[in-house]
Structure 1
Amino acid sequence: MLRRLVPVLLTAVMVALGIAALVVRPAPKGPEQTADYVLVAGVPGLRWDDVDPANTPTLWRMAEQGAIGSLAVRSARQPTCPVDGWQTLGAGNFAAWDETVVGQTCPDPDITVERPDGISANLPDQRATVTYNQERLRWGTMPGALAESVRCTVAVGPGAAVAAARPFGRVDRYAAELPPDPSALLGSCVLGIIDLGTVSGDDPARRADAARRADEALARVLAARPERSLVMVAGVADTDRTSRLHVVVADGPGWGRGWLTSPSTGRDGYLQLVDLAPTALAALGRPAPERLFIGQPAAVVGDRPADLPTAIAAPADADREAGAQQRVAGWFFLLLAGLQCLLAVAVLPLLRRARRDAGRSGPAPVPRRVVGTVEVLLIAAALAIPAALVADIFPWWRGEHAGFYYGLVTAVVLALATAGVRLAPAYQRTLWPLAGVAGLAAVVVGADVVTGARLQLNGVTGYSALEGGRYAGLGAVGLGVFIAAILLSAGWLAQQVRRSWRPAVVVLVGVLGVIVVGSPYLGADAVGAVALTAGVSIAAVISTGGWLTLGRLAWASIAGLAVTVGFAILDLRQPLAQQGSLGRFLTAVGDGTSGLTVHRSGAANLSALAGSPLTVLALVGAVLVWFALLRPWGGLKRLFGIYPAIRAGMAGIVVAALIAGLLGGTALNVAGAAAALTVPMAALAALRVLDHATDRTIPAASSPDEPSAPPGAPDRSAGAVTVAPSGPRVEQSRRAAEEAGTAAQTGPAQPSAGVSAG
């Protein structure tokens, strides 16, 4: 009866703890006090490096008394040129002006503004850009949604006219440039958008001059601002193909000194361009148009340094790191994929010759030094991504040769980590390298997530704030490594205990991983948590050995589906603006707009599949496993037979990585990151199992569940206690093998099965 209740109890534990980990984090509250007017002043290209008390005194004073942050200007086109930035501001969603291909620098905006009278204006190209965004792009964007949400808008400058125009092209109040006294103009409508000019180029003198002129215009705006008004200054776009983080400052009632943030980023000090439109409406106390805005209203959080130069240094440094990350990440993953492919080719002949012949004849074994060198290389390959994550602790991006410094730091960290695994006293145990690498990777990724995921943001193996996909929690690469590390660690730990306790060990370790991944206070990845739950469920039910029977599959499916349904119910109970990806998808299914969500997910998967080196890692790992490691001479089947908990962990990795990539819109990126750790360790463990395949064994005298067996012994269902993998006992087993080969000519051969203790 107890054995029958174990699956039920494990399922209940997995469901309860999984749902507890996935409770939606409450969004930060915006200022309670609303404004009577909102003014948005845009300066395409403005960065925090351009702000100083001497050249931009107005903006400096505004930043000192208001809330500041870094603005990611993602739009529907890369790069976000000024006209695309203005269009995205007015749409509250990712938008693009047209399909013109952008060269190295953004072209001057070609905006036609008609003046039918002396008050309003009309954009004749607005209808065409609405059609383009609605029919050709995948975001369901409606240009002019912000203007349609208020009774009256005023625009100053052609860029501002794009943001303030309604879907049919009308701008309610318009001025080509800021008048000498703009008080009457800015007070004529509750929403005003002002184009303060563009800061572009790499010439410091030219940038300083453009920033100074924008600051002078801002001073006139602040002098003429209506009472109880919120003023936001934002660098709404890039000016060339080099994406950067830009300035955003908010000053008004309830927007005191602090960091700007929003639920769309979940990171203090970061806003998206699409957050400005819902922020303006929220400040005016007006509802946002349903399902048109993809951004969220901004809020102010504390903990900003009192000294403004110190506070500004943080977003300026983040901008430099994000720029360097984009340059370095590409070649890092290309180099990693290439080296792992070469290592996969090099390990094939070793697998062929790893199993020693039991008699006196046969091919000469591979020299021990060669095998030892390949083992060290396999360990280094598996630890490459965790070492690269740790390298982001050091400010390598501040140097002139950022890529060289990053490579040097990563190499040093990788060498230390590899040496730690190699020089451990238990290294000669068959499964120790696998356990050491998995444990180290789990600690590195888990510690980063628990301490705020600071190494993930703008990290080479993390995610970039410039891409706009994620700003907090666990990224796709970190998720893949963490899934592999948690399930391999769970499999190794389960292998050390009684067979009946193995599912409990796998569930215990797996639930800790689900909490780290799915908690909104930690990894904040609901899809990843659901995927890891599925992997843990599969691993738990087959950790004792045997096949994945229909009953086992049923229990695993119940646990995974229960966690998913539980989170979906909790997510759907939240307001629409605070729902997660699963809740928004189910809401879209309910109102019949799920086709757009599926289209976005499919397009994201296709883009990730075709453009990521991690796809190569996933495919090469699958080929090596299927056509080599799972062959009769590959050793992996033997490893799985002797260590069923390791087989369970690897099966769970495949399930979790594929689900996370498919549902998360990252295709094989999660699987590629998981393969970068799992496949080298599987190859190393297979080499060791084959190397000891002919070791003589001593028949076990105790029952399979005898608790007094030696620590670390393999699965006792094999009915044998194995010989240690090195030292005099190996020589004894070799001599025994030779004697057995000689005796085979005159009598029955002794059975041989067993490997060194895990």
Structure 2
Amino acid sequence: MRALDRFRRVRRASVPAGRRRTAAWVPYLMVALIAVAGLAGLSVRPAGDNNTGSADYVILAGSAGLRWDDLDPQRTPTLWQEATKGSIGWLSVRSAMRVTCPSDGWLTLGAGNYAAWPRRTTGSQCEPAAPALTRPDTIGANLTDQRSVVQNNQDQLPYGAVPGALAESVRCTYAFGPAAAMAAARPFGRVDKYEPSLPADPRALLTQCNLSIVDLGTIAGSGAQREQAVRAADAILARIVAARPERSLLMVAGVSDTERSSRLHVAIAEGEGWNGGWLTSAGTGRDGYLQLIDLAPTVLTALGKPAPEKLFAGRAATAVEGRPADVADAMLGVHNADQRSVAQRSVAEIFFTVLAGLQVLLFLLAVPVMVRARRHAGPRGPALPSARLVAVLELALIAAALAIPAALLADATPWWRYGHPAWVFGSVTGLFIVIGTALVRLAPRYHRTLWPMGAVAGIGALVVGLDLLTGAQLQLNGVAGYSAVSGGRYAGVGGVGLGVFVAGLLVLAGSLAQWITKQWRPVIVVLLGGIGVVVVGSPYMGADPVGAIAVTAGVCVAAAITTGGWLTVPRFAWAALAGLAVTISFAAVDLRRPAADQGIVGRLLTELGNGTAGPAMQRAATANGQALLDSPLTVLAVAGVLMLAFCQFSPWGGLNRLFGLHPALRAAGAGVTVATLIAGVLNGSALTVAGAAAAAAVPTAVLTTLRVLLHAADRTRPEGETYGPGGPGLREPASSTPVA
């Protein structure tokens, strides 16, 4: 070791001082470049399509429980005709409650924000929407409980919803049916004009107010009972179509669920400017998907009226081209997003629970092998683990790390259409795991110490990156992605994908950085990290500005310590300044946009400026708490931390030796930790991102640590001898695993 240290000092002394000073500035120069690249990627946003038409009247026909598989050209000819002529989409009916029952849906529709009606019972079925109404005159009605409902939404719920905000924004509303009155009532309970049901000929009534809200009835149950309810709804809609005035926009929506399970529902808009195409909004960012809270701003936009400030959470819908002409081809069969989302929720819970259990078991089995792998100084000690045992454990660790990327690839198959979707999905995922493990194992460089870690990381980053480049089709309603039913995300990168992508990108960068000269290692980290920032933050790909800012922070930290040493105050200061540069610059650009076009960063700063950020922070805290307790990924994150702590702080760990030999990997680990924790907390997903990163990176970290332990007693070659692929300080073993 003394000879090696003397050789390194002589080598450093031979480098001119000017060159050493120049090289020292390379990380900071590259960090500045990542800030510029991140800003460029985050600032560019797609041009919005605001051609939503104009209307003198809007008729909003709602039906609790109406789904696309209820529609049929023979059984529901009017609904089918309107869907064929108009723009269509899947409607997420998220409200302030986990499951949106009819009262919650109608109230949310009239609030333009996540609202809830007080629940009186619990069970598998939702209560029908039956509000208490009084008729002080023959014109309108009063919703008796409206004032208390508004107070409850303001004081008890974190969304700041004001039921009746839509009615307050138009001249008058006409409600047909008690459920419709819940959406048409003003905040103090007055329904301007009201009829208990739609008359046989409503022609004269539909022109009395510029907004008419009609209840088509509740669609519940199954079989003949459900078909009868759908036929009745179609008959009511037929009377509306026959009597609708000129220059009117007709909107049909399945406003809620009718059972204690969440589904996707019907959304149709038909009128001038809505002839064909997909429905979408800036709130979903995905063609063919709309939120219930988007309907209120869509009504006002169509009528040419401004949305009330600080009250609406939704965004006005638009119509985009690209929809198949046949409604069945667009919404049913292999494109039935509702059926897929139902299967996704149940299978995702099983998948991550099994994955967490298997990884915990694998870590427990790895501990005694690592204890035996450490060479003892005394004459007596436990025998080293057999080569066969180590080989099997390595393959198991590689397979565990590839589970989430394999699950993403499995979502490219129609597993959800089979009778036992969980078994089909598990079988396909297992097949991809076997293929990925074989590719890593059969590679010529497999016995290199860092190869399994770098290869698995590269596979994970490649799978997620290609998915984002092709529209994130694997993550939408995917087991390893996100469900449109939950209403959290509809496009871009989800929490699981972000964790795998960040871990894969930074670990790959750390592995590659070990192959080049120390002073240029930050270049590799920043180059790959900069690509990650742009991919995650671009509205065309990841569409997650908060995630991009978190990745920037992680990349800056990794770049600062990738050459070795600790995260000193100067290094931390440079990294923090670079992260702040991206955040502040993007925020400044975002704040210049109209409020309706702002991203999450701009909206948050706007809310902070006008004093309305409290509910948003409360929602984020609530979401973090719920995700922390409910998600199996929390178990994966905790298990990963405990296993890494064992590897670093126990006498049999070997992680400190690994980091000493490969400082770029320590930098990558620090960067992944910083990025995933920031992204999880700010996005309201707690340890979801960190858990996904741990599931993808910790198993191969354990594998690499085990390899280092097995070579801990290898002697150092004397100065002047040729080094093996392990590099300086490590002997190339004759018949075992190389260490580079």
Q: TM-score, normalised by structure 2?
A: 0.95
Which residue matches 1:25?
Answer: 45
Which residue matches 1:612?
Answer: 631
Instruction: Provide, for residues 217-245 of structure 1, a one-character-per-residue CA deviation record: whole Å limited to 9, x for no partner.
Output: 10110111111000000111100012111
Deviation (angstroms), 1:555: 1.2
The CA distance in 2 between the partners of 1:700 and 1:160, in whole Å, is: 86
Deviation (angstroms), 1:720: 2.9
Q: Is the 8 A contact 2:481 2:497 kept in 1?
A: yes
Deviation (angstroms), 1:677: 1.4
Q: Is residue 60 from structure 1 mapped to residue 80 from structure 2 by the alignment?
A: yes
Instruction: Provide, for residues 30-73 of structure 1, a one-character-per-residue CA deviation record: whole Å limited to 9, x for no partner.
Output: 32531000000001111111111101111111111110110011
Pairing of 1:349-360 with structure 2 (within 5 A): 349-357=368-376
Q: Is residue 152 from structure 1 mapped to residue 172 from structure 2 by the alignment?
A: yes
The CA distance in 2 between the partners of 1:105 and 1:528, in whole Å, is: 38
Instruction: Provide, for residues 680-737 of structure 1, a one-character-per-residue CA deviation record: whole Å limited to 9, x for no partner.
Output: 11111110000011123323439xxxxx987x644xxxx435314xxx455xxxxxxx
Alignment counterpart, residue 422 of structure 2, candidates 363, 383, 403:
403
Letter in 2 for 1:83: S
The CA distance in 2 between the partners of 1:40 and 1:97, in whole Å, is: 20
Pairing of 1:731-750 with structure 2 (within 5 A): none
Indicate the SS of the match to 1:70: strand
Which residue matches 2:6?
Answer: none
Q: Is the 8 A contact 1:48 1:316 kept in 2?
A: no
Deviation (angstroms), 1:578: 1.6
Pairing of 1:408-419 with structure 2 (within 5 A): 408-419=427-438
Deviation (angstroms), 1:192: 0.5
Q: Is the 8 A contact 2:284 2:489 kept in 1?
A: yes
Indicate the SS of the match to 1:185: coil
Which residue matches 1:737?
Answer: none
Which residue matches 1:390?
Answer: 409
The CA distance in 2 between the partners of 1:315 and 1:179, in whole Å, is: 39
Alignment counterpart, residue 302 of structure 1, candidates 317, 321, 326:
321
Deviation (angstroms), 1:675: 0.7
Q: Is residue 168 from structure 1 mapped to residue 177 from structure 2 by the alignment?
A: no
Instruction: Provide, for residues 163-206 of structure 1, a one-character-per-residue CA deviation record: whole Å limited to 9, x for no partner.
Output: 00000000001000111210111110000100011111122x22
Pairing of 1:353-502 with structure 2 (within 5 A): 353-357=372-376, 361-502=380-521
Q: Is the 8 A contact 1:28 1:262 kept in 2?
A: no
Letter in 2 for 1:251: E
Which residue matches 2:136?
Answer: 116
Q: Is residue 91 from structure 1 mapped to residue 111 from structure 2 by the alignment?
A: yes
Q: Is residue 720 from structure 1 mapped to residue 729 from structure 2 by the alignment?
A: yes
Q: Is residue 129 from structure 1 mapped to residue 149 from structure 2 by the alignment?
A: yes
Deviation (angstroms), 1:101: 4.6
Q: 1:33 to 1:677 in 2, by over 3 A?
A: closer
Instruction: Provide, for residues 665-684 of structure 1, a one-character-per-residue CA deviation record: whole Å limited to 9, x for no partner.
Output: 11111111111112111111
Q: Is residue 547 from structure 1 mapped to residue 566 from structure 2 by the alignment?
A: yes
Which residue matches 2:697?
Answer: 678
Which residue matches 1:738?
Answer: none
Which residue matches 2:18?
Answer: none
Deviation (angstroms), 1:373: 1.1
The CA distance in 2 between the partners of 1:585 and 1:709, in whole Å, is: 55
The CA distance in 1 between the partners of 2:256 and 2:588, in whole Å, is: 38
Deviation (angstroms), 1:345: 1.0
The CA distance in 2 between the partners of 1:60 and 1:352, in whole Å, is: 67
Deviation (angstroms), 1:360: 5.6
Deviation (angstroms), 1:599: 1.0
Q: Is the 8 A contact 1:458 1:464 kept in 2?
A: yes
Alignment counterpart, residue 64 of structure 2, candidates 44, 49, 58:
44
The CA distance in 2 between the partners of 1:5 and 1:314, in whole Å, is: 58
Pairing of 1:281-300 with structure 2 (within 5 A): 281-300=300-319
Q: Is residue 183 from structure 1 mapped to residue 203 from structure 2 by the alignment?
A: yes
The CA distance in 2 between the partners of 1:135 and 1:464, in whole Å, is: 29
5+ residue gaps in structure 1?
703-707, 731-754
Instruction: Provide, for residues 434-482 of structure 1, a one-character-per-residue CA deviation record: whole Å limited to 9, x for no partner.
Output: 0110011111111111100001000011000000000000000111111
Pairing of 1:175-324 with structure 2 (within 5 A): 175-203=195-223, 205-313=224-332, 317-324=336-343
Q: 1:346 to 1:670 in 2, by over 3 A?
A: same
Which residue matches 2:738?
Answer: 756
Letter in 1 for 2:220: S
The CA distance in 2 between the partners of 1:315 and 1:132, in whole Å, is: 42
Indicate the SS of the match to 1:186: coil
Q: Is the 8 A contact 2:294 2:315 kept in 1?
A: yes
The CA distance in 2 between the partners of 1:174 and 1:188, in whole Å, is: 11
Q: Is the 8 A contact 2:564 2:664 kept in 1?
A: yes
The CA distance in 2 between the partners of 1:548 and 1:316, in whole Å, is: 50
Deviation (angstroms), 1:575: 1.1
Q: 1:649 to 1:428 in 2, by over 3 A?
A: same
Deviation (angstroms), 1:8: 3.5
The CA distance in 2 between the partners of 1:80 and 1:669, in whole Å, is: 25
Deviation (angstroms), 1:110: 3.0
The CA distance in 2 between the partners of 1:607 and 1:308, in whole Å, is: 38
Alignment counterpart, residue 538 of structure 1, candidates 537, 553, 557:
557
Q: Is the 8 A contact 2:715 2:730 kept in 1?
A: no
Q: Is the 8 A contact 2:331 2:337 kept in 1?
A: no
Q: TM-score, normalised by structure 1?
A: 0.93
Aligned-residue RMSD, C-alpha? 1.6
Instruction: Provide, for residues 550-601 of structure 1, a one-character-per-residue CA deviation record: whole Å limited to 9, x for no partner.
Output: 2111111111111111111111111111212211111111112222221111
The CA distance in 2 between the partners of 1:628 and 1:498, in whole Å, is: 27
Letter in 1 for 2:477: N
Indicate the SS of the match to 1:249: strand
5+ residue gaps in structure 2?
1-20
Q: Is the 8 A contact 1:438 1:484 kept in 2?
A: yes
Q: 1:152 to 1:314 in 2, by over 3 A?
A: farther
Aligned length: 720
Alignment counterpart, residue 122 of structure 2, candidates 102, 126, 144:
102
The CA distance in 2 between the partners of 1:546 and 1:316, in whole Å, is: 53
Q: Is residue 10 from structure 1 mapped to residue 19 from structure 2 by the alignment?
A: no
Letter in 2 for 1:35: A
Instruction: Provide, for residues 96-152 of structure 1, a one-character-per-residue CA deviation record: whole Å limited to 9, x for no partner.
Output: 111435310112233111111111111111111111111110100000000000110
The CA distance in 1 between the partners of 2:379 and 2:279, in whole Å, is: 75
Identity %: 57
The CA distance in 1 between the partners of 2:368 and 2:711, in whole Å, is: 17
Letter in 2 for 1:78: R
Indicate the SS of the match to 1:601: helix
Q: Is the 8 A contact 1:480 1:673 kept in 2?
A: yes
Q: 1:24 to 1:599 in 2, by over 3 A?
A: farther
The CA distance in 1 between the partners of 2:27 and 2:444, in whole Å, is: 37
Which residue matches 1:740?
Answer: none
Q: Is the 8 A contact 1:69 1:315 kept in 2?
A: no
Letter in 1 for 2:85: Q
Pairing of 1:644-659 with structure 2 (within 5 A): 644-659=663-678
Indicate the SS of the match to 1:98: coil
Q: Is the 8 A contact 1:636 1:686 kept in 2?
A: yes
Indicate the SS of the match to 2:225: helix
Q: 1:453 to 1:314 in 2, by over 3 A?
A: farther
Q: Is the 8 A contact 1:115 1:122 kept in 2?
A: yes
